[in-house]
Structure 1
Amino acid sequence: MFPIGLTEALDEQRTWIVPAGAVLPGDIGAEITALSAPDKPGEITVLPRPLRRPSRVIVAGTGDGDEAAWRVAGAAIVRALDDDEHARIAIPDGTSEDAVRGLAEGLWLAGYRYRDAPEPPRSGRIDLVGADHPAYARALAQAHATATATWLARDLTNTPSSVKNPAWFADQVVAEAATRPGMTVTVLAGDQLERFGGLRAVGAGSVSPPRFVELSWTPSGVTSPRHVVLVGKGITFDTGGISIKPRDGMKLMKKDMGGAAAVIAATLAAADLQLPVRVTALAPLAENAIGGSAFRPGDVITHYDGSTSENTNSDAEGRIVLADALAYAADRLQPDLVLNLATLTGANAVALGKRTAALYSPDDELAAALAAAGDAAGEKMWRLPLPGDYVEYLRSDIADRVSAPQGPGSVMAALFLRDFFGDATWAHLDMSAPSWAEAPDAELTKGATGWGARTLIRYLSTLPGQS
């Protein structure tokens, strides 16, 4: 990522960036005061100063000055700069640490470019000029870890499925974990997946066999750390299988592993930030393809916990692989808390639009904490119910449940998953809609958004170390 640093003075050789309402001395201060300064976060006014230094000043609106407004301002600022430009941002006295974190996140997130994009990455530099260096240094470190995780989640999701098969994804996780002390990674394949009946069924039609990745961060010096398990759907491409998708519904299905990308990225960030919480990410990886060996509607699948599901729609494959991962977590990992992220249903977009995920949890305290973390991180979610009377729709004549019953699609998927997580406190985020942006929007760039990584990092950062 391009560097953002701290410095003590404005440099007349560099572009100056000034938040609206900031007071500067001399002729520049008078010129800014004379402007009709932008009020709305993300609004930009450029003041050209030919034959003078600095040669231009950018005035950025920061609204009410909270973290979200500064994040939007940062995104607008980075888009107003040239790729190789060096700029300095004047931080007014009294600006909070949270606001500086939001600013840095906006700069880095909106400045993202896919690692294999044809245009080169940015080569410029941005320095923040402000009085409270220790606090701002902390804010920059937190923003950097968050942005690094989000960039990784975006890179993984944007990678074409001609490259991104389950083995490739697993290799990326192994390589990332190797750079961080305190991390371990296990990859299961072939006969090691014997008990993972759902994962094997979904991946059976592809020439690229499935993988199961377990990535763990264990903090040092913490006795009995709280254990959080993050489970992410990892379908590296989804044709819909025999229940084939229409063409328009299939063309973006390289993003169907966005949940796995988010949980892996957040766990790596936990190590980068040295969080005092034990975190394990589980990524069931498969390609849902069409072929003679593909699983069929009407097949009965035996999951990791020995329970069975009647497949009624092979395009509802995500919940089938997640069921194995959740059952594995309950059986092997003794989690205090399980959080599940998945690009699971189109019904999420129908209900909540393109920027909001659906949140499900039977635990009011956990649901409120996740929603608060999402608000702080800039990732919206809305809690939806888990109605007990809808469980009747899951009944099967030949198995413990059906995979895709009638009823509200996102809700029924959550009710299906509720069978598998054991006694742990649990929440599920259906983030299919906000995982992709059709156009740049504030800190989002076109393409994969990395949705969920920011929320998980915020939430994990609030947890005490002891269980």
Structure 2
Amino acid sequence: MSDVPLETSISTAARPPEDAALLAVPFAADLDPPVGLPVPAAALLACYEAKGEAGEIVEVPVARGEAVGRILLYGIGDGSADALRKAGAAVTRRGRGREEITVVPPGASAGAVAAFTEGALLAAYTFRIGETAASSRPVASIRLVTGATGAPGDDRGTGAPGDDGRTGDAAETGGTGETGTAAVEAGIARGRAVAGAVALARDLANTPASVKTPAWLAERAAEQGVTTRIWDERELRAGGFGGILAVGQGSVSPPRLIQLSYEPEGEATGHVVLVGKGITYDTGGLSLKPTEGMKFMKTDMAGGAVVIAVLGALAALGARVRVTGLIAAAENSFSGTAQRPSDVITQYGGRTVEVLNTDAEGRLVMADALAYADAELDPDVMVDIATLTGAIGIALGKGLGALFASDDGLAAELAGAGEASGERLWRMPLIDDYVPALESSVADLANIEAGSAYGAGSITAALFLREFTGKRPWAHLDIAGVGRSTVDEGLSAKGATGFGVRLLLEWLSGR
């Protein structure tokens, strides 16, 4: 994986410095912080009516010789991984504009430290072209204290309920001393790897389309330290990738198909193909979007960005499964050469599609990639991820990604990974009664519902993709509602969220 420049660094120290200007300590009524409070902790918490909820912070001034420092008592809620991510995010956000925060971790286990680190670094993410005001910059450094870990009164650390603190093969449980230090270091490493991958996905999606052509995206993908193959427009034409070519033919920036291949050390436990939508900008084509609908379309390749970031991070997490990533990249523009409503195109493998709406382009490029994966790569499982339909944002809002799956076991695995990673999914139905919505009078399929009364745009889009999976176990993640954020709060920054990176890394590293 290329080094993702996270703006906030994380290091360790055996003890907090006596002159720490800002010290953050886990929140509990029986707290015995390593630097004294002016009054008993229980009295302070009662005064502020603090409940210890995840992300809750009580700030207390303390004497530092002639100066004044501050202690942040931060709530850890139920101690679950999700609660610790929220706690890390809250601490980082409170330190915005500062050079350093010293933090007593919320537990001694690698799992607790990984979750806290992940939340802290995700909340520190920024993307800006130009100067950033000093007060708006994320905290430059977080120092975790290895000699004072664990929830108050618990020398084992804080993990998810029912969890022994283990996260992956590298995790270790333990209290203070060498075992605790090793666990903290392992947790930091995992948290940094996951947060770095999310930051990469966000960076790619947030980059303006004036820079982010399909060729540029292919170049960034090739930097991830895995085997790379890139099809240019001539190779796409020779290979019969009619969907990718049709979508990209209206742009001066030609399309690309990007293939990334991760091979684990030793025998692989299976082969997974990930397919990502890589529309670097979406005007809607000749079925032109209104201005408001175009403003965020530089992030319409968020699914492709997730696939690139995941492939780059697998080695750092020690994933044992073989993974192939396919990113179908094109710019959906309008010009005299753009595809027209009523055109019939031939997808990879020979299926013909009547294009009734050029703004339903993501499914056309992904159909090529899915059909290629089925015919040539022989995967055990295929999963695609895309900002595919506006309808899913209406159905599920901004807090849940949509999961469609042809296999119940695969659906359960992905839903479980979503819960564990904090990127929750809601399973949606694949209703076979809606398949006639895709019928065309002149081609094998239509790319949208052709004047019938079915509706359910997200479901019919998923059914369209299913036609190209060859009946293999397959799942489709529609992240149109959760792939972008309009606010800067919690773990998210305004702009691309990188949704899907954490849940796919959780799923793949456990296979």
Mark yes or no: TM-score above 0.5: yes
> How far 1:261 sits from its partner (Å)?
0.1
- The correspondence of residues 159-178 of structure 1 with structure 2, limited to 5 A, is 159-174=207-222, 176-177=223-224
- Count how many residue pairs are aligned between Structure 1 and Structure 2: 456
> How far 1:106 sits from its partner (Å)?
0.8
CA contact (8 A) 2:93 2:138 kept: no
CA contact (8 A) 1:153 1:265 kept: yes
Give the corresponding residue for 2:16. 10
Distance of 1:443 and 1:202 partners within structure 2: 34
Structure 1: tracts of 5 or more residues without a match: none
Distance of 2:447 and 2:36 partners within structure 1: 69
Give the corresponding residue for 1:366. 410
Alignment deviations for residues 182-214 of structure 1 (CA, whole Å, 9 cap, x no partner):
x21011112100111000000010011101100
CA contact (8 A) 2:16 2:34 kept: no
- The correspondence of residues 28-43 of structure 1 with structure 2, limited to 5 A, is 28=37, 30-36=39-45, 37-43=50-56
> How far 1:10 sits from its partner (Å)?
1.7
SS of alignment partner, residue 503 of structure 2:
helix
SS of alignment partner, residue 103 of structure 1:
helix
> How far 1:427 sits from its partner (Å)?
0.3
> How far 1:377 sits from its partner (Å)?
1.2
Q: Does residue 269 of structure 1 match 2:313?
A: yes
Give the corresponding residue for 2:229. 186
Alignment deviations for residues 343-386 of structure 1 (CA, whole Å, 9 cap, x no partner):
00000101000121110002111111111111111112100000
Q: Which has the higher contact order (CA 8 A, sep 6+)?
A: 1
Return the match for 1:398 from 434, 438, 442.
Answer: 442
SS of alignment partner, residue 240 of structure 1:
coil
Give the corresponding residue for 2:494. 446
Q: Does residue 149 of structure 1 match 2:197?
A: yes
Alignment deviations for residues 397-446 of structure 1 (CA, whole Å, 9 cap, x no partner):
11111101152010000000001112421100000110111012311111
- The correspondence of residues 295-374 of structure 1 with structure 2, limited to 5 A, is 295-374=339-418
Percent identity at matched positions?
46
- Change in Cα spacing, 1:256 to 1:338, as seen in structure 2 (3 Å) is same
The aligned amino acid for 1:432 is: A
SS of alignment partner, residue 188 of structure 2:
helix
Distance of 2:131 and 2:404 partners within structure 1: 40
Distance of 1:202 and 1:61 partners within structure 2: 49
Q: Does residue 197 of structure 1 match 2:242?
A: yes
- Change in Cα spacing, 1:141 to 1:277, as seen in structure 2 (3 Å) is same
Give the corresponding residue for 1:432. 480
The aligned amino acid for 2:188 is: L
> How far 1:85 sits from its partner (Å)?
2.4
SS of alignment partner, residue 482 of structure 2:
helix
SS of alignment partner, residue 141 of structure 1:
helix
Distance of 1:23 and 1:341 partners within structure 2: 46
SS of alignment partner, residue 314 of structure 2:
helix
Give the corresponding residue for 2:338. 294
CA contact (8 A) 2:437 2:448 kept: no
CA contact (8 A) 1:67 1:100 kept: no
Q: Does residue 91 of structure 1 match 2:86?
A: no
The aligned amino acid for 1:156 is: L
Alignment deviations for residues 278-315 of structure 1 (CA, whole Å, 9 cap, x no partner):
11110010000011111111111100011111111110
Give the corresponding residue for 1:109. 122
CA contact (8 A) 1:38 1:45 kept: no
SS of alignment partner, residue 56 of structure 1:
strand
The aligned amino acid for 1:265 is: A
Distance of 2:399 and 2:506 partners within structure 1: 18
Distance of 2:90 and 2:350 partners within structure 1: 52
SS of alignment partner, residue 272 of structure 1:
coil
